[in-house]
Every structure is written in structure tokens, then in C-alpha cells.
Structure 1
Amino acid sequence: MPIRIPDALPAHDILESENIFVMTEYRAMHQNIRPLNLLILNLMPTKIVTETQLLRMLSNTPLQIQVDFLQTASYTSTHTDIHHLQQFYYTFDQIRNRRYDGMIITGAPLDYVPCEETLYWDEVCKIMEWSKTHVHCTFHLCWGAYAGLYYHYGIEKLDMPKKLFGIYSHEIRKETSPLFRGFNDNFLAPHSRATDVRLSDVEAIPELEVMAVTETGSLAIAKTTDSRQFFVTCHAEYDRDTLALEYERDMKKGLTTVDVPVNYYPDNDPTKVPPITWRATGQLLYSNWLNFYVYQSTPYDIEEIN
């Protein structure tokens, strides 16, 4: 089934070329069903890449989804064409009176930056507070997860001496959870971060439950016991070359805290094409979240979300 996006969005042609069913706004308006309304707060500098990655994951369900994109007003990305932002993105003041079935707060390249020193921290806090009454279920991704854990529960993020960078195996702590429907006992997913939290700090909060951890014992997925907030530190939506591009970027910067991404290149050789070993993880993670925690529990009358 389709994902509903504007015809002119750059991701439209990319997804159609991959035989992913995207629906025009005109066709969607003439179907007698209510789509899920989803909001993506995109904090990544390469917004079009992130848009495409997330839309690819969200498209693999029998649900029609209306996606809105949100940018910060307190900081404007310099890596994305201003016309793209003006055409496809809202600011918070433009959507603050709307309600959404689901929301994704993306990561951001903010390793080693304290939350309060982030240029748009006050605005993100305002949006996270608003989400508690205007969004049925929020999916905090990577930096968004650390921001959410800190804002909602006061859990401090920690700087890691070495970046967690590569493809890691994960242990599922809640095997019966619908979130892991179809998963193997252990699953693979990329990480690209120099930020962490103490697992014990998360486990100490009665409203939080740890869902999965990395093979290194780092938090991978947590959620609230009412399933209204998810905190995910892995990047199951990444493309084949995402880590390669990040590695090349970091090498050009002369960073000494980054090694070749683990379990990524064949024979650990950056000249070889990396295989995708996490595609099923990504499709299942986002599909299960949408189906079991958004679609099946959100009210039919979206105005009843509170």
C-alpha cells in the first residue's frame, strides 16, 4: 500500500524507481479512508537523504500515511536548498494546533555538544513538550533519543572516547513485544554515534523499559510503559553507503576518534562494497512501530489525541 507525499518531493522519483508505491495527493484525497498523520522533525543537515531513508521504511505497510516535515525556526540548515525547505517544510508555529498519530524526531550531528548548548535546544524542548498532548506516539531517533531521554526523564547523555561506528548485533530484552514481531533472536543494525547513556539510569525509571541492547551493552531501544514514546539509538533506516560516506567525511576532517566501521566492509577493506545486513531489521522495526503502536491504538478521531 502507498505512502502519501507531495508529487514534487525529491524522494518521490527515487522511491518509485525502487517500485515502492507512492500515492499522489490528488489520488489520496479521493479515497474514503483516514490516513495516518505523521510528522517528521528532521534535524539532519542532509535533509533530502534523511527524508528518503525514512519514507522508504514507512512505505512498507498496508496503511496510507500523510507525512508532514518540520524544521526548526531557530536554526536554518545550510546544507539544504532554501527552496526545498520553503516548499516542503513547516515550522512549529505553523503546525502547533494540529494533532498527529505519529512523530519521528531524527538524529543530528551533535556528538560532544551538551544539550543546552545546541542552537535550537529551547525550540526542540517546546516541540517535545507539545508532543505529549498533540502526538499519539513519538519515535525519537539517535540524537533525538538522547534529547528525549534527557528532556522527559533527566537522563544525562555521555561522551564516548571512541565512536560506536559500524554494524552491531543486538540482544532483544522483550522478546514478546509486538515491536519485534518477525525479528530473529539477535538482529543487526548500524550505529554511528559518540554518545551514550548509562543503562542503569534508564532501568531506574519506572516508566521506561529497555527493549534491546547492543552486543557491547549499550542502549539500543527503550520505550515508555504506555508505549507513547520510543527511544532508538540505532539507524536501521541507513542506506548501503551511509556509513561509508560518514567514514570518508570523518577522515577528511582528520578525526582520530573514528576507526573503520566494524562489521561493515568485507575483510575490513574500505575499497570493497559493503553488503546490506540490516535491511530486514529496518523494514520490520518501522512497520511494527506504525502498525502496533500508531495505527492500532490511535483514536479514529484525531482530535481526541491528548
Structure 2
Amino acid sequence: YDVVALEISDPRVTLTQLQHAPVEATLRNIADQLAELEELVSQAADPTQQKLLANLDGDFERWDDNGAPVGWSVSSLPQVHIGRSIDLPHSGKFSLLIENRSKSSAAWIQSRPVAPPRTGRLAVQAWLRAPAVSEPLLVRLSLIGRTRTGQRFERSALLGGRNDSSAPIAIDWGRKPLTLYVGDIPTEETVELVVSIELIGPGKVWVDDVQIFESLLQPDERNHLRGQLLVANQKLAESNAYPAEKLLDSHWGQYLLRYGPLMKPEGKVAQGAPAAVATPSRPVGPQSSWSESPSVLRQLRESLRDRWRR
């Protein structure tokens, strides 16, 4: 910020009060940028409003001549059956049934490999259905990767079971998909990633509509940013633009503008083609800006100068 000093030689002049507020046009511009950031936060918190990282064929509508799901490798243990099911699919005509009659092993399916996202963050969503009558099922939803040096990268979540902290598996698919958030993928080192679903122990589980998205925000990060947006908007209404300027120029502000979902002219979220990666909407760096208008800091500086010159 610029510091402006005045030297007044007339002893009769007394400064009784000094108050500065940015010009109205500056406040409106900052408010528009906050609204844009708020929209990006809402979109980034919902994986379905972001681009698919890859097409996994997770709707299980395509099967090869050997009865295997296209795009997936499956367990071949003798006491395991993995096949196509027409019983109450979540969508389309088919779902995938995993049946395990072994008490000691896990029945599993794995997707085809996909490239890691540039952001190092993604979300895997899967719809699961349990039998109406059965012992509690335990399912592991995993993201497994391989680095250039051959090391294994794995993040997983346990679903169902008897643990109250695990997400339950509904008998009617439920209202929301089960989601695994991963936010620490070493993108420079990781060669490929696969999605894995394992039924641990005996039982049956139906799987449908498995998708993988480039997820920009974890739920706790979304809540943190919403709190900061609330404070910034409240202070801006009082003509205090500093919290807004601080948030807009922060890591999260620049991050969301760079990797945030792109909006089509008609206002719809751009849907990515299979294996697409989110494209930066604006460059981040010394030459970047939030819009074609001057930056927030520059607008405040010019506003201060104009006030003092009057």
C-alpha cells in the first residue's frame, strides 16, 4: 500500500477526523470477484460439477464375450463370482455383482489405469447395494498408484462393516454415492492410478456407476473458505476491502481460479471428455490478473490517491 503524507504550515488547520473508503466502482468490482470465487467454491466442492478424470466404464453396461466387464480386471479365485446383474441396477440395464463365498480372502475388481490429475486431488464415487438380508458387509474402496521408481501409492476407505465410523451400505443404493477423497497424489512421481473395490469376507454386493473426478476441495477446506467468504463480504459491506483483497490474492483464491471448473457462455459447467484434465481458466504468476480490470491492490491504491488529491 502507498503511504501519503501531508505537510500543512497553517497553524489554524486542525485534523479532527480522517476516514477513507474506496470508490464505489472499486467496491463493486471486488464484490463481483468475491461472487465469482464463491461460485467456484460451491462448484469445486461438488465432484459431479467437475470434469471426469477418465471414463472407467463404471456403469457396467459393456461386457466382453467372456462375461467380464469392459475396462475392468476381476478376481479369479475359485470361491468368487463376479458377473453382470440385471437385478435393480442403479442406472441403465446392468450393474456388477461381487459374490464371495470365502471367509479368508477378498473378492476384488480393478479399473483400467488412468493418468494422475495435475492438481494431485481427485474423488472416486461408487454406488453400492447390499442384500436385504445379510451379515454386515465390509467393502474397501481404494485408489492405488505406481510411481516411476516402482513404489506403491494407496489411499482407501472402509465401507460398511460393524464400525459406526464407516459409511453404511444401503439395500436400495441409498441417496448419495459413497465417495473417497484423495488430496495428496504425488503427480510428478506417479505413473498411473487404478480404482479398486474389494469385498472383504463372505457376502454379496452390487456395484454401479463408478466415476473418478478431479476434485479441487476437501469438505473441510470448503467449510473453511466459506467462513472466509462470509467475513470478507461482511467487511466489504462496511467499506473495508482488506479481508476481501487478502482472500482474493491468497493461495486458495489463485488456486481455484486456475483449476476451477470452466463455465460455458450459457452458464453450464463444461463437461470433460474421457481422460480429460481440468484446464486452467487463468494463468497464475506475475503477469496474471483476475479480470481485464486492474487488480484489487491497484484499485485500492488509485482510490487512495484520488481521495488525497481532491
- Same fold (TM > 0.5): no
Greater RCO, CA 8 A, separation 6+: 2
Larger Rg: 2
TM range (shorter): under 0.3
TM-score, normalised by the number of residues in structure 2: 0.24
Give the structure with the larger helix fraction: 1
Please give the TM-score of this superposition, normalised by the length of structure 1.
0.24
